[in-house]
Amino acid sequence: MNRLFLLISTLLLTCGHLYADYPERGQQAKKHGKKLTVKEYKTTPDGKNKWVDHVEVYNAQGQLIEEREYGDYGRSLSWRSEYFYNSKGQLEKEIIYNERNKVSKVRKYEYDSNGVCTRRLNYGANGILNSYRQFEFTYE
């Protein structure tokens, strides 16, 4: 299989979950059986200044449980997400917070009997369903 197909498959099976870009991070947390925090920094071209741009937190099972994105040279929170999993280890719910750390939206995930994510439901902060993304798989 080609690399692009594998990447797309991984993204779809995780419902487009962002940490599919860096699966080794979760694997390292699981390997060590400890919570892992990954901080990503931006730096000036000369390397003299750096600031936190993005933070990911993984639990001891290797699951992404929190993400934070910073703006204004790392001085302010842009957004934050928390991730929750069911007993099968599947992403069940994502809560997204705005820059004031208030809930801005909630995403819930549904899976078929094979454990493949088939829908992502998007709710507003008020709990009302705004839309959903449905995934269709065709094998040829």
Q: Is pLDDT above 70 for 2?
A: no
In one letter, which amino acid is 56? E
Query: Using alpha carbons only, what angle is made at residue 69 by residues 55 and 75, rounded to the nearest 5 degrees?
Result: 100
Q: Is pLDDT above 50 for 76?
A: yes
pLDDT of 8-52, one tens digit each? Answer: 344 444 565 545 567 788 888 889 999 999 999 999 999 999 999
pLDDT reported for residue 22:
77
- The beta strands (E) that lie in 3-116 are given as 36-43, 50-58, 64-71, 76-85, 91-97, 103-111
CB 66 within 8 A of CB 56: yes
More confident residue, 23 or 77: 77
